[in-house]
């Protein structure tokens, strides 16, 4: 499978715990995006990378959220001290630098108890 | 700022019939792109169709066509010959080209149900 893959697909955690999601983009794609989708809403942009550089992070929801793409390939999204309001689907997407289309993974669903 | 509005929370269509899903947008950028994505229950966002703001003709991709009315700021999706597998959430999205980020702003979606 050469699409965008995300791991884990589902995560249940207790409030206050840290969680990390991983995204493997399509191999030749320079850009990688993280979105959050809550129930009944469309995806909400969080941050994006061009290669290993994080070019936009002002839309990360709080300082508990951080993302990395250390070698310009896979990326991780970490949420520290999770809260119940963090329960959502976290979607990763990738694209070519000059491409129009974003290719999405199947998402990582987080449930905070 | 960009804004996407989808006013139809849910739509029903008979199998083999055509259906139009509405989308209006607002932006001050002269150059932008409009997208439609399908999201089945599995969660993956599947790209359907794209329309650039300077494209002269409406985009078409198989059974999907985009009815782009620039003056009215609308970008409705038309699905012809509906199939049971078309039942899903449909999201309209916009990219503001001048930001250079290529990130998308999404509407709240329309749930389409195809009735046999």
Per-residue pLDDT tens over the stretch B54-108: 998 999 999 999 999 999 999 999 999 999 999 999 999 998 766 666 788 999 9
Residues 6+ apart with CB under 8 A from B32: B2, B25, B52, B53, B94, B95, B96, B97
Which residues from B are below 8 Å from A105, CB to CB? 44
For the stretch A57-92, pLDDT in tens is: 777 878 999 999 988 899 999 999 999 999 999 999
Residues 6+ apart with CB under 8 A from A53: none
> Helix, strand, or coil here: A45?
strand
A43/B46 touch (CB, cutoff 8 Å), yes or no? no
Which residues from A are below 8 Å from B46, CB to CB? 104
A100 touches chain B (CB under 8 A): yes
Average pLDDT, chain A: 91
Percent residues over pLDDT 70 in chain A = 96
Within chain B, strands assigned E span 3-5, 10-14, 19-21, 24-26, 32-39, 46-52, 60-61, 64-69, 74-79, 88-96, 105-106, 110-115
Across A16-33, average pLDDT: 94
Model confidence at A1: pLDDT above 60: no
According to DSSP, residue B81 is labeled S
pLDDT of residue A61: 79
Q: Is the dihedral of CA A42, A46, A50, A51 positive or negative?
A: negative
Model confidence at A97: pLDDT above 60: yes
Measured at the CA of A17, the angle between CA A12 and CA A22, to 5 degrees, comes to 65
CA distance B83 to chain A (A): 22
Question: Residue A99's pLDDT band (boundaries 50, 70, 90)?
Answer: low
Six token digits for residue B91: 């999201």
Pairing outcome for strands B10-14 and A75-79: unpaired
Structural contact between residues A26 and A103, judged by C-beta atoms closer than 8 angstroms = yes
pLDDT of residue A100: 67
pLDDT of residue A67: 95
Total count of residues recorded for chain B:
116
Which residues from A are below 8 Å from B103, CB to CB? 33, 45, 48, 56
pLDDT of residue B98: 63
Q: How far from each other are the two terminal CA atoms of chain B, in whole angstroms?
A: 41
Closest residue on chain B to A90 (Cα): B43
Model confidence at A2: pLDDT above 80: no
Within chain A, strands assigned E span 5-7, 10-13, 19-24, 31-37, 44-50, 53-56, 65-68, 75-79, 88-95, 103-104, 108-112
CB nearest B43 (choices: A89, A93, A100) = A89
For the stretch B6-49, pLDDT in tens is: 999 999 999 999 999 999 999 988 889 999 999 998 888 999 99
At B31, give phi and psi (nearest 5°): -120, 125
């Amino acid at each position: 499978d050469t699409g965008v893959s995300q791991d884990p697909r589902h995560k249940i955690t207790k409030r206050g715990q840290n969680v990390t999601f991983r995204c493997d983009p399509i191999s030749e794609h320079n850009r990688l995006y993280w979105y959050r989708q809550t129930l009944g809403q469309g995806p909400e942009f969080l941050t994006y990378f061009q290669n290993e550089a994080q070019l936009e992070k002002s839309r990360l929801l709080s300082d508990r959220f951080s993302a990395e793409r250390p070698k310009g390939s896979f990326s991780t999204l970490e949420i520290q001290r999770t809260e119940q309001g963090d329960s959502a689907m976290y979607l990763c997407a990738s694209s070519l630098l000059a491409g129009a289309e974003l290719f999405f993974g199947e998402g990582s669903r987080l449930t905070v108890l | 700022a960009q804004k996407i509005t989808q006013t139809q929370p849910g739509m029903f269509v008979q199998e083999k019939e055509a259906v139009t899903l509405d989308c209006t947008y607002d932006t001050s950028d002269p150059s932008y792109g409009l997208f439609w994505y399908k999201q089945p229950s599995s969660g993956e966002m599947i790209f359907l169709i794209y329309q650039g703001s300077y494209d002269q003709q409406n985009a078409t991709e198989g059974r999907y066509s985009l009815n782009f009315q620039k003056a009215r700021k609308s970008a409705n999706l038309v699905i012809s010959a509906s199939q049971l597998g078309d039942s899903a959430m449909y999201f309209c999205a916009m990219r503001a080209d001048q930001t250079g980020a290529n990130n998308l702003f999404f509407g709240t979606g329309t749930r389409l149900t195809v009735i046999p």
